[in-house]
Amino acid sequence: MIPFNPEEALRRTKREFGEHGGVAPSLSRSSTFTVMEPGIMPEIFQGVRGPDKGGCYLYSRHFNPTVNVLARYLAAMEDTEFALCTASGMAAISCTLLQLCEYGDHIVASDTIYGGTYALLDSLLPKMGIRTTFVDITDLSAVSAAVDDRTRVLYTEAVGNPTLKVADLPGLSSLAKRFGAALVVDNTFTPIVLTPSLLGADVVIHSLTKFINGASDLLGGVICADRDFVYRLMDLHHGRAMLLGPVLDPRSAFDVLQRLPHLPLRMREHGVRAMAIASRLEEIGAPVIYPGLASHPHHERLRSMINEGFGYGGILTIDCGTRDTANRLMSILQNKEAFGLIAVSLGYFDSLISNSGASTSSEIAPEDQKKMGLSPGLVRISIGYTGGLDERIAEIERAVREVGLDGNH
């Protein structure tokens, strides 16, 4: 297999120039579109004409030219046939699962996933007759055992939030094929680093809100899949995206488009810095978890799946043991060392620091947090790339020593 290079895939995809030869693409904000002749309108409704069939647009909840350009680039990056952009990552996840599952169907999902996704699967979807069994996704026999005759989806994050467990995507893909289920992978933590479609994923989802936009100033999501699935999502009678309506605003799509060309550069730098910081913390005996470290239990698995040259991602965690120590560490990192900001979310140019159990995973009951190996003192840090790296390492080292988390304690 020729190694996939998402940076080249992005660069080589057909470039979209703006009107008047603009080097930036044009922003098409229109909600509705005219046709030259009245007879064309019913042809669009029948699907005879469309964005890729004669360049005909109808209405922006269906397809919008600017949003479609972004979708085309993201599909190239994820090596899928097509993509559909949504108003948030959660919109991408909920539309995908509602499209793939109906009343009575079943999902097998990783037990270490984003809190919002967990709540959707654990609390909301059961009210619509869609059941989920949560398993340790790294245990393929547990996945097999959880499958029943109504299982339609295997759902996982490539690198799990916030435990940084790494899913065996080729292994899950062969199970999905054997059981006739779709493998849906949330790749929000590792865009560019990992290309799940090449490892057997049927649908790849991102929250654009995180690394892909990278500026923490908008929300968005994307569903990367084959053309048929995207058209089903946009079907006028049954399409979950078309009828539930959470599509991406063209203004947000334009902003993401302008930042996508430097995503590979940013991911590389997030990764270089996360690796350097994790290595130093490990050296001083701090309880750091980062899948780029050889000591991480899933390091080899991740190494076998990544695209060469983009590192292991920008997220690391420090297990402070207790919430009290976690709070002290976060306070020093923000208020004394100015290492980063206490905030949820990730993928920003500044480091973002949060205590997962009390924030983005708080939807998961404390006893379930314990079962999935989520410590109440876990501090998740999305490593930014501002300032000098040596200074940043010195800051976090001082903070970790101050709360007694270095090996001398």
Binding residue for ligand PLP, selected from 85, 90, 166, 333, defined by CB under 6 A: 90
| Of 116 and 321, CB closest to ligand PLP | 116
Binding residue for ligand PLP, selected from 57, 63, 82, 114, defined by CB under 6 A: 114
| Of 117 and 369, CB closest to ligand PLP | 117
Report if residue 221 touches ligand PLP, rule: CB under 6 A: yes
Residue of this chain nearest to ligand PLP (CB atom): 89
CB of 307 to ligand PLP, least distance (A): 19
CA dist 171 and 177 (Å) reads 10
Report if residue 219 touches ligand PLP, rule: CB under 6 A: yes
CB of 9 to ligand PLP, least distance (A): 22
Quick one: tokens of 56?
């005909």
For 374, phi and psi rounded to 5 degrees?
A: -95, 110
Could you say which DSSP state residue 261 is in? G
CB of 23 to ligand PLP, least distance (A): 29
Selected range binding ligand PLP among 55-63, 85-93, 99-107, 333-341, rule: CB under 6 A: 85-93
Binding residue for ligand PLP, selected from 60, 64, 66, 88, defined by CB under 6 A: 88
User: Of residues 293-332, which lie at the interface with ligand PLP (CB under 6 A)?
Assistant: none
Report if residue 161 touches ligand PLP, rule: CB under 6 A: yes
Report if residue 252 touches ligand PLP, rule: CB under 6 A: no
The answer to whether residues 75 and 83 touch, using CB atoms and an 8 Å cutoff, is: yes
CB of 104 to ligand PLP, least distance (A): 26
CB of 362 to ligand PLP, least distance (A): 14
Interface mask toward ligand PLP for 178-217; x: CB under 6 A:
--------x-xx-----------------x-xx-------
CA distances from 221 to 89, 249, 395 (A): 4, 11, 34
| Of 186 and 269, CB closest to ligand PLP | 186
- Give the torsion sign (CA, 293, 274, 224, 116): positive
SS3 readout for 116-140: HHHHHHHHHHHHHCCEEEEECCCCH
- Give the torsion sign (CA, 176, 179, 180, 181): negative
Residues 6+ apart with CB under 8 A from 248: 67, 70, 85, 86, 87, 208, 220, 221
289: helix, strand or coil = strand
Binding residue for ligand PLP, selected from 13, 27, 116, 170, defined by CB under 6 A: 116
CB of 88 to ligand PLP, least distance (A): 3
CA dist 372 and 192 (Å) reads 27
Binding residue for ligand PLP, selected from 7, 111, 157, 397, defined by CB under 6 A: 157
CB of 186 to ligand PLP, least distance (A): 5
CB of 61 to ligand PLP, least distance (A): 19
Report if residue 246 touches ligand PLP, rule: CB under 6 A: no
CA dist 170 and 183 (Å) reads 10
Q: How many residues bind ligand PLP (CB under 6 A)?
A: 16
CB of 290 to ligand PLP, least distance (A): 17
CA dist 53 and 201 (Å) reads 27
What string of DSSP letters covers 341-391? Answer: EE-S----SSEEEEEGGGTTTTTS-HHHHHHTT--TTEEEEE----S-HHH
Q: To which H or E segment does residue 242 belong?
A: helix 240-244
What's the one-letter identity of residue 389?
L
Residues near ligand PLP (CB under 6 A): 88-90, 114, 116-117, 157, 161, 186, 188-189, 207, 209-210, 219, 221
